[in-house]
Amino acid sequence: MGNVWEIGNLSVTEGNKVKDYLELPTVEEKLPAFVVNGSEAGPKVLVLGGIHGCEYTSIDAAQKVGAELEPAQVKGKVIVLPIANPASFYARSIYVHPRDQKNLNRMFPGKEDGTDAERLAYWLNESIFKQVDFVIDLHGGDMIEALVPFTIYHITEDKKVLETSKEMASLFDIDYVIGSSGQVPGSTYGCAAEQGIPAIIAEAGMQGIMSKKHSINLQDGVKNILVSLGLLNGEVNKSESTYISVFDWYRSDIKGLWYPDVEIGNTVTKGQYLGRLANEFGETVKEITSDTEGIVLFLVTSLAINDNDPLLAVGA
Ligand SMILES: [Zn+2]
């Protein structure tokens, strides 16, 4: 008998694969999971999709990677959770968990006795993150967001974790690689990296559209990382990356209407007009101008804007 991988309630013998539901204590929904225990020893990798329930391309990409992996080809262990936040997925809830209105990707490491999103984050971290060596979290533009594909790694004090994460983030056929120093706390990749687990986010696809092209882009990137980590045989594909250290988010400070004047991928200059916030009579309340020269990496495309909603981000 070979070794058995026990992860959460799931148990997979060596050289086998299981598709089943992951049950997390105090989390209402069960999470569909593909668990592959390869026929040879190697690293353990977690692939997440759907932390944000409307980022459909990420969900499709994770699901296809999970369905495709065969234990005979895998040296190591992989768990894929394509719909990591089922309540948000079925509620078609933008950014937040429908029951507590909290953004799961701001909640890590979560709270054992917290609200729905906090408990989900807590158990994902305790039961899954802490059992793996690498975390790949797939995202995209949410239902109301357009974006240029990019990847993100967390700038942590552990140089080895930082360098490995940066290398993983560079293995997608995606131009922009962002080093983030934790301006957005509570993220999956930041939490994992601070615990010594190299981790990244890859973002492709947008606006509630399941993009086959961007799904393949994400799937190929994940497989490329698995090759580079030695879990799959093959050649590592290297592509050129543009490294970005400034990731400037602009947020609304009113509830009203948003009229952007730029598009994703536009190069903007410092001081350039990016768009305006208006009241319900169409009168301009605030003009948004760029603090830096850079590229518009994501853009909220919803006319309706709530107080503190993101509007866009410029990378430089
Ligand atoms: Zn997301």
Provide the strand spans (E) within 14-71. 16-22, 31-37, 40-48
Distance 15 CA to ligand 1 centre (A): 33
Distance 36 CA to ligand 1 centre (A): 25
- Domain with 10, as residue range(s), is 4-243
Query: Is 98 in the same domain as 55?
Result: yes
Q: What is the pLDDT of residues 60-81, one digit of tens each?
A: 999 999 999 999 999 999 999 9
Contact 117, 84 (CB under 8 A): no
Q: What is the pLDDT of residues 121-171, one digit of tens each?
A: 999 999 999 999 999 999 999 999 999 999 999 999 999 999 999 999 999
Query: Is 219 in the same domain as 267?
Result: no
Write down the pLDDT at residue 231: 98
Q: Please give the C-alpha separations between residue 302 and each of 84, 98, 199, 305, 306, in angstroms, as whole numbers.
A: 25, 19, 30, 7, 10
Query: Is 235 in the same domain as 279?
Result: no
At residue 181 the predicted structure's pLDDT band, cuts being 50, 70 and 90, is confident
Q: What is the pLDDT of residues 19-57, one digit of tens each?
A: 999 999 999 999 999 999 999 999 999 999 999 999 999
Distance 253 CA to ligand 1 centre (A): 22
Query: Is 200 in the same domain as 269?
Result: no
Give the Cα separation of 312 and 316 in Å (integer). 13
Q: What is the mean pLDDT of residues 76-99?
A: 98
Query: Is 306 in the same domain as 292?
Result: yes
Write down the pLDDT at residue 174: 96
At residue 109 the predicted structure's pLDDT band, cuts being 50, 70 and 90, is very high
Mean pLDDT rounded to a whole number for the chain: 96
The backbone torsions φ and ψ at residue 56, rounded to the nearest 5 degrees and listed phi first, read: -65, -35
Give the CATH number, domain containing residue 281. 2.40.50.100
Distance 4 CA to ligand 1 centre (A): 33
Query: Is 104 in the same domain as 154?
Result: yes
Write down the pLDDT at residue 182: 73
pTM of the entire predicted model? 0.96
Query: Is 221 in the same domain as 291?
Result: no
Query: Is 160 in the same domain as 279?
Result: no
Query: Is 88 in the same domain as 42?
Result: yes
Query: In the chain, how many domains are there?
Result: 2
**Which of 211, 228, 243 marks a domain boundary?**
243
Q: Does residue 11 register a pLDDT over 80?
A: yes
Q: What is the pLDDT of residues 221-230, one digit of tens each?
A: 999 999 999 9
Write down the pLDDT at residue 212: 98
**Which of 243, 271, 295 marks a domain boundary?**
243
Q: Does residue 183 register a pLDDT over 80?
A: no
Ion ligand 1 nearby residues (CB, 5 A): 52, 55, 139
Distance 148 CA to ligand 1 centre (A): 13
Give the Cα separation of 268 and 181 in Å (integer). 23
Query: Is 44 in the same domain as 120?
Result: yes
Q: Does residue 113 register a pLDDT over 70?
A: yes
Give percent of the chain above pLDDT 70.
99
Query: Is 159 in the same domain as 261?
Result: no
**Which of 187, 211, 243 marks a domain boundary?**
243
What does the angle CA 232 – CA 19 – CA 120 come to, to the nearest 5 degrees?
Answer: 100
Q: Alpha helix locations (H) across the chain?
A: 56-68, 86-91, 116-123, 159-169, 188-194, 212-228
